[in-house]
Structures are given as C-alpha cells and as structure tokens.
Amino acid sequence: MANFRQLHCKMWSSDNWFINLNPEMKLLFIYLFSNERASMTGLYEIPVRIVSFETGLTRDCVQDAIEVFTKADKVEYDFESGVIWIKNMAKYQVQNNPNEHIRKRIADDMRNVPDCELKRRCVDTLSVRYGYSSDAIVSSSIVSSSLLSSEERGTGGKTENVFTVYEHNIGVLTPMIADALKDAEITYGPVWICAAIQEAVASNARSWKYCEAILKRWSRDGFKAPKAPSGKSSPEDVSEHNRRVIEELAK
C-alpha cells in the first residue's frame, strides 16, 4: 500500500460534515485515510477488529461510525469480506497523469483486495470518473485483470509459459525483459502477451518494445486477435485462424 497520503487541512474549518463529527468519529475518519493498509484508490481490506485495535476504539464504536460515514456517502464497507471503500480518496491521492510506478502501485493494490461486489462498484466508478485509456489513471486492463481470477484472465500460473513464448519467438530472456514480462502480465494477462508476441512475429518486428506498443493499442482500442499468416486471406480463413489462436493461447 502507499506510504504517503494527502490530507487536506481545510476539512477542519470548511467541511461542515467533518466539523460536526464527534472526536471518536473524526479520529476514525482520518485513520481510514492514513493507516498503513490504505490504498491510493481508497479500496482496501481491513477487518473491524484491526481498526479497533489500532485506534483504541471499541468495535461497536467503529461499526456505528462506519454506518454514519456510509449514510453520508463517504464510505462503504463490506462486513463479510472486510473490504472498505473511501469514496473520495482517489480524487485526492491519484494524479491525473500517473507515471508507470503509480499505475503499477494501483494494479498491485487492486490485486490484493478480495473480489466482491464492493470492489466491482469501486472499479466502475473509477472508470467513469477518469475514463479508460492506455494512459488513464486506472486503465481498463489494470483494473479488469485484477478483478478476474487467474482462470478467467488465462493466467493459470503460467508465467513461465510467457517466458517460453518470448524466448522461442523474440530472443534471449534477459533479467530486464523478464521483469518487463512480469509487469505486463499483471497489467494485461499472459493471453494478451502471447498474442502480442505472435503479432510481432507476423509483422517481422521481433522486439519487446513492439509488443508493448501492441498491448497499449489493445488497451486503448480493444483486443484484436493476431493476423493470419500470409496466404490466408479470405474472411473465413482469417476468422478460423484467429479462433484457433485464441483457443491455443488460452490453454
């Protein structure tokens, strides 16, 4: 989780909702922004017992405060999964044009949150607020892949297969390329990576930089199955080729 968060001082003098909270609720609201588990997007897992232990507040007090925050549309909490969503946190914590480090942090944070309805609604809200593009604050590829199971994303723990596909088709797997492939797998999933490698080969552009450009294009415009080999030019042949490619890559 992020080690630094912004807290706007004006809330002490200009936010009437916050000003009218009792001291315990003020403490808890600030804690929800500043505890070590809090993420940049405001979505993270934290059991009530942990909140109670770290703040010194009773569990009943914590639960009552969460209900007050929920009614004010500041917070939502899933008591079954222990996932909380601080609704305006991303507004203040995430830059409009995040660098790769921030985007990776968001992806890692999302992957650490158990899948639940609250997580899905948070992601939907972020997509509306910021939009999905290759340079978006929370790109569709990052968030969507973090919501799916490994089977749904086609990962199945097959990172080593991505490495093998790269070595067989592009070149020697250096430590730097291996790290890039791992990061790309978090963002795009191995099915897309393998498909991008195949398209790079078909275009006679065997480089990881070219593969990354393909992945970014798909993230922006939507996935497109790799081109059929030369000689397969009819629509039926191309469609059948693409179907077999995707089925093979997803195994």
- The CATH number that applies at residue 243 is 1.10.10
State whether 184 and 126 are in the same domain. no
Is residue 129 predicted with pLDDT exceeding 70? Answer: no
State whether 139 and 208 are in the same domain. no
State whether 139 and 177 are in the same domain. no
What does 204-220 look like in DSSP terms, one character per residue? T---HHHHHHHHHHHHH
CATH of the domain at 43: 1.10.10.10
State whether 83 and 132 are in the same domain. yes
168 vs 44, higher pLDDT = 44
pLDDT confidence of residue 101: 67
Please check whether residue 243 lies inside any domain of the structure.
Answer: yes
Please check whether residue 154 lies inside any domain of the structure.
Answer: no
State whether 223 and 105 are in the same domain. no
Please check whether residue 51 lies inside any domain of the structure.
Answer: yes
Q: What does the pLDDT look like over 54-92, one tens digit per residue?
A: 999 999 999 999 999 999 999 999 988 899 999 888 777
The parent domain of residue 219 ranges over: 159-249
Q: What does the pLDDT look like over 22-63, one tens digit per residue?
A: 999 999 999 998 898 888 888 999 999 999 999 999 999 999
Round to whole Å and give the CA distance between 205 and 141: 24
Final residue in a domain of this structure, among 93, 121, 147: 147
Q: If you average pLDDT over every residue of the chain, what do you get?
A: 74
> Which structure tokens are listed for 15?
């936010």
Q: Where is average pLDDT lowest: 49-63, 102-116, 154-168, 191-205?
A: 154-168
Q: Are 48 and 63 in contact (CB under 8 A)?
A: yes
Final residue in a domain of this structure, among 125, 147, 169: 147
State whether 183 and 203 are in the same domain. yes
**What's the gap between Cα 51 and its chain centre?**
25
Share of the chain above pLDDT 70, in %: 67
164 vs 93, higher pLDDT = 164
> Which structure tokens are listed for 62?
């914590």
Mean pLDDT of 136-143: 40
Round to whole Å and give the CA distance between 217 and 122: 25
> Which structure tokens are listed for 90?
């991303």
What does 92-122 look like in DSSP terms, one character per residue? HHS-SS--HHHHHHHHHHHHTSPP-HHHHHH
- Confidence band (pLDDT; 50, 70, 90) for 136? very low
Please check whether residue 153 lies inside any domain of the structure.
Answer: no
pLDDT confidence of residue 221: 79
pLDDT confidence of residue 217: 87
Supply the pTM of this predicted model: 0.51
Is residue 117 predicted with pLDDT exceeding 70? Answer: yes
pLDDT confidence of residue 99: 61
Residues contacting 173, CB < 8 A, separation 6+ = 163, 166, 167, 181
The total number of structural domains that make up the chain: 2
